Structure formats: structure tokens, C-alpha cells
Amino acid sequence: MELTWLGHSSFRLDAGGKRIYIDPFLNGNPKCPENEQTPERVDVIAITHAHGDHLGDTVDLSKQHGCTVIAPVELADWLQGKHKLENVRDPNKGGTVDLDGVRFTLTDANHSSSNNDLEYMGEPCGIVVRAEGKSVYFAGDTNVFGDMGTVIARLYKPDVAVLPIGDNYTMGPEEAALAVELLGVKRVVPCHYGTFPVLTGTPDALAEKVGGDVKVEKIAPGESVTI
């Protein structure tokens, strides 16, 4: 599995023979490399919530590539009803979508979710992607919460956690360090920082708080890690 950071909270995951985009905020994302803003191939899009910096280019990419879109049920209904997207899967928290052996499970997240017109789009979620014997937890926009140490850690046993660290709209490094402890992970990919001035958390601050036993992947947008 190869995980590529596209800036902010956008990622490309190549797993199980599929090219997966998580929260594809590509155009308008000041941190997304120019050569990543027009994907050549998209098999699956998975969305944590409806805010514009996460929903991003979902509608255009879906129509262009005919890919499967996985979104929380209210957001999925809106995408199908208003934007006429096809091949949309609509799980809710705790639900799993299996696409040829690549499993997407929605988890809890503590945040909010509305579209750019401030219409309610259901609750936000995290996403666990399991494939090739590996598990990756995308926390989405959230603070730290107790179920990270019970449900998510015990059931899904993530090999890597993708955590927001920017502060202000999500948890910062201090809460993210506690999330690492609760999840029991030894590798973390930080995100949702540095895109805008208000997002002040840094990977160095997180690394200082988690100590040397945990690897904080300090990758730049466009760079990848192997899982």
C-alpha cells in the first residue's frame, strides 16, 4: 500500500489494485502540487464530511471517472439527489463497504458537517481502510475522544493513523499525541496543518510530544509513504 499526501487532508491511497482518494480537495487547495490537481485515474473516493476543504472535487471527479463514491448517508443522498452522481455507497458509522476486498468502515468523529450553503449534511466520520493485510485510520476532522482507545484501537488495529494536528478547527499536537497513545499506533501521518495561517500545529510539535517510540511521518505534499 502506498499513501500519498496531497496537502491539507487530501490523500491518495493505492491499495488492493485500486486508486483511492480520501477527501479530494485538490483544486483550490494551496498545498496540493499542480501535477496532482487533475488525476488520470480515480477508482474510489471516500469522504469524511461535507465541508468544502474535504468534499473538494468529488462531484467533478466522479462524473469524469465514473468512480465509486463512499460518503456518510446524508451526504451520499445529497450527492445523488442534487448532483445526480451514480455508483454512490452510503454507509453510516460502524458500517463497512467492501469493494473487491478493500474495506471501508466509517467511525465516529467529533466535528461538524455542512456544505458550502450551510445545509446540514449529517454527522462527520472517520474512515478505516483495510486491504492487503493492513489497516489505515483516517481520523477526518476531529478532536481526541475515548473511542479511539476502545472501538478503533481494538477492532481495527490501525497500522498507521492519519491525524489532523492544525488546531483551531481540529485537535492540535497536544490532543493528537493523546490520540496516538489511545490508538496504540507507532506510525502517524499528520495532516490539516499549514494550509492556512490559523492552522498552527506542526509535525515537530507532535513528534516532541509522542517521543521516540512513534514515527511521525514528516512528508511534504506530493510525497508518499509505504504501509
Q: How many domains does the chain have?
A: 1
Question: What confidence tens digit (pLDDT) does each residue in 16-68 have?
Answer: 999 999 999 999 999 999 999 999 999 999 999 999 999 999 999 999 999 99
Tell me what the mean pLDDT of segment 171-180 comes to: 98
Query: Any idea what the CATH number is for the domain that residue 35 is in?
Result: 3.60.15.10
Which pLDDT band, with edges at 50, 70 and 90, does 110 fall under?
very high
206 phi and psi angles, rounded to 5 deg: -65, -45
Q: 23: closest CA among 59, 44, 62, 53?
A: 53
Instruction: Spell out the residues 6+ positions from residue 84 whose beta carbon is closer than 8 angstroms to its own.
Output: none
Which pLDDT band, with edges at 50, 70 and 90, does 121 fall under?
very high
Q: 39: closest CA among 54, 53, 55, 25?
A: 25
Compute CA distances 57 → 21, 37, 155, whole Å: 10, 9, 31
CA distance 143 to 169: 9
Residue length, the chain? 227
Over the chain, what is the mean pLDDT?
Answer: 97
The range of the structural domain enclosing residue 99 comes to 2-226
